[in-house]
Structure 1
């Protein structure tokens, strides 16, 4: 692959992943639906509420019996929440009723307990009520068949509550990709491991896996692999066995003698080359046993940038999530950039929504990336921009 523009490589990766992007919707149980995006309008199969019920603890009555206050009415019993088909209420009587309990036929108002006195099976009602007072009518929230939730809605707890109230046990949502994340390199160890000189904690695995989850994917495997191509093949096999439809790797695609990703995948037709950007120029893609693989550089900033530019937009599109926000912003301080290569510099927003660079362009500056809010997209021909200039930014 010759040196290629960012947009051209993004289109290549879209084509590479095209079979994943046309997957049908999925039906998932409500317990697993948080954060997913509705695939279609969801219509309620029942009215909400589905039956007339009491809004208060009190007494169900005929409002017409309360023309003169106070009034004393015999209490015929009690209706608790969960009661089924209570008997009709005769005129001139009352029945104790709990919040949420079904109203008996004939009753058209509820008198709260605090407006009554109960003595020897007779309730004295101290305040008049009109028909409909403290009564929740069937369908007063939503009629059966009406749209409960629209298509394209990211589900939060309040939406799941509405689905459950409508007696739905699952929901149709936009599909998401099941993927594996594999970091390569003999130098890498899991975070928290006692470090010897030359060893590094793996930052790429957790970063890419977390970013993939935020973009709507399901991470089914997260692994480390050394610099041996055969070992990497075994790790990818395990990821595929775990259900991965896409494999994302970091490291192992440079020109050195210990490049396991290149050594494993080039004989299988991998395309390895350089995208015209910095950081993150080295990129690659391949198929392994029909499963698409997208390969990022090993430096942590480069790998995160490669994922954000080339894979995250596709995952978000498939999952029904909006793209990362892009916006023009004004520089709070002068900016310097490397000539001849499109730069994605780390930027921090100021209180007035201006932006200033954070540290330099180095691909290893992971702390600087953590301090950033946005990426500043600087064209290849730009080397210096003064404070007050407008730049294109991408939210992180």
Structure 2
């Protein structure tokens, strides 16, 4: 099997017309996807602790589910060969409960009262719900013609899972239904990927942590809190390293500490055109890092690569400093990469089409992500409107939105009434 390229130079060599100063979104996503490597460590956890974890191996069913043919309804189990075009009177010869089967055989002209989940009595292949019967007593019941067909309301042995079949696939992020399925197989512990350790910090002399006084020209650091929330939703173990000053020694120390304690590092700020030269120099000195100007809005500047320190290595995502740009670049670049590192078989949430209620100015040549509010009109058609001003520093636009309007690279201006692609936040968070 071919191994993925080991260096960024080898990865980007596969792309024609690679230009770090004008990189399309899709090209940047591909480079990251081809360069990232999953963490290999596996641990065994109790079923109740497995929610949200990434399954490390395929789960093969050790049993049939259900283990026997059983009734899907409360009613009467009968032989379909008795059914005809006339009302059918059957003798009730017993009762079967879930977990307590009827032990006898059922002959022609007979039936058994059954509860939901009860094993089908021997000789019976059909269940009629009790509400479809007539003249029911403890000893007999009448079946109207056409009230039931052969095989109705019978769950077949193994119709959910057969012994030896794949129950859940490696790479699946376990959901509540998955835990129920595993419990139905009698599985108490499951192998999962080790949680991904992610270190993150903000850079900038103007940033203050909550609780500190705001000097003139300073702002509270919001990026660490949005990053904390997004990373927590992904199920990562977090290392919050606070605010790092715009000083070479402080930045290098923070990067080295993060590298030695985490699998991935996310920084916000310090990668734009106006950033000090030492930011790029230090990141480049510590490893294989490239700096991009991506054809997108918001979130044009970004750094990506892998750094080393004292025998440890970590993947680095240098995100912009503006609050909305941080969230957009995380969702459309870092998120999928981190899931891949976690061993998850995950792709970007699907796009859906909606009618734009607004005219949106755009020139071809870059991808734009507008914050939108998706709703339905009186006829049930999906429609979307923007949340107002779309500046990359207006975090309120993300708070009010429930989706992203994705305007693709080749797309031009949108007129009110045009169809646009949208991506729900529910699929991202």
Of 324, 342, 346 in structure 2, the residue corresponding to residue 301 of structure 1 is 324
- Where does residue 314 of structure 1 map in the other structure? 337
- Aligned partners of 1:336, 1:267: CA distance in 2, in Å? 41
Kindly indicate whether the alpha-carbon contact (under 8 Å) linking 1:374 and 1:393 is maintained by their aligned counterparts in 2.
yes
- Where does residue 327 of structure 1 map in the other structure? 352
- Aligned partners of 1:154, 1:267: CA distance in 2, in Å? 36
Of 29, 36, 40 in structure 1, the residue corresponding to residue 53 of structure 2 is 36
- Where does residue 385 of structure 2 map in the other structure? 356
Cα distance, 1:263 vs. partner?
Answer: 4.2
RMSD: 3.9
State the SS of the aligned residue for 1:234: helix
State the SS of the aligned residue for 1:4: coil
Are 1:276 and 2:277 matched, yes or no? Answer: no
User: Structure 1 pair 241/171, CA: closer, same or farther in 2 (3 Å)?
Assistant: same
- Where does residue 394 of structure 1 map in the other structure? 423
The within-5 A match list for 1:151-230 is: 151=169, 154-164=173-183, 166-173=185-192, 177-214=196-233, 216-224=234-242, 225-230=244-249
User: Structure 1 pair 325/208, CA: closer, same or farther in 2 (3 Å)?
Assistant: farther
Cα distance, 1:25 vs. partner?
Answer: 6.1
Cα distance, 1:365 vs. partner?
Answer: 0.8
Are 1:267 and 2:285 matched, yes or no? Answer: yes
Number of residue pairs matched? 326
Of 242, 245, 251 in structure 1, the residue corresponding to residue 263 of structure 2 is 245
Kindly indicate whether the alpha-carbon contact (under 8 Å) linking 1:301 and 1:363 is maintained by their aligned counterparts in 2.
yes
1:80-120 Cα shifts (integer Å, max 9, x gaps): xxxxxxxxxxxxxxxxxxx99x98xx9969xxxxxxxxxxx
- Aligned partners of 2:339, 2:275: CA distance in 1, in Å? 36
- Aligned partners of 2:291, 2:414: CA distance in 1, in Å? 33
350-359 vs 278-287, which moves further: 350-359
- Aligned partners of 1:383, 1:49: CA distance in 2, in Å? 55
State the SS of the aligned residue for 2:392: coil
- Where does residue 337 of structure 1 map in the other structure? 362
- Aligned partners of 1:342, 1:284: CA distance in 2, in Å? 18
- Aligned partners of 1:187, 1:236: CA distance in 2, in Å? 20
Q: TM-score, normalised by structure 1?
A: 0.68
Larger Rg: 1
1:147-170 Cα shifts (integer Å, max 9, x gaps): 584326543345435535644332
State the SS of the aligned residue for 1:350: strand
The within-5 A match list for 1:84-163 is: 145=163, 149-151=167-169, 154-163=173-182
38-47 vs 244-253, which moves further: 38-47
Cα distance, 1:232 vs. partner?
Answer: 2.5
- Where does residue 117 of structure 1 map in the other structure? none
User: Structure 1 pair 13/136, CA: closer, same or farther in 2 (3 Å)?
Assistant: same
The within-5 A match list for 1:41-56 is: 41-45=58-62
Unaligned 5+ runs, structure 2: 1-19, 68-92, 105-110, 120-155
Q: TM-score, normalised by structure 2?
A: 0.63
Kindly indicate whether the alpha-carbon contact (under 8 Å) linking 1:34 and 1:157 is maintained by their aligned counterparts in 2.
yes
Are 1:371 and 2:400 matched, yes or no? Answer: yes
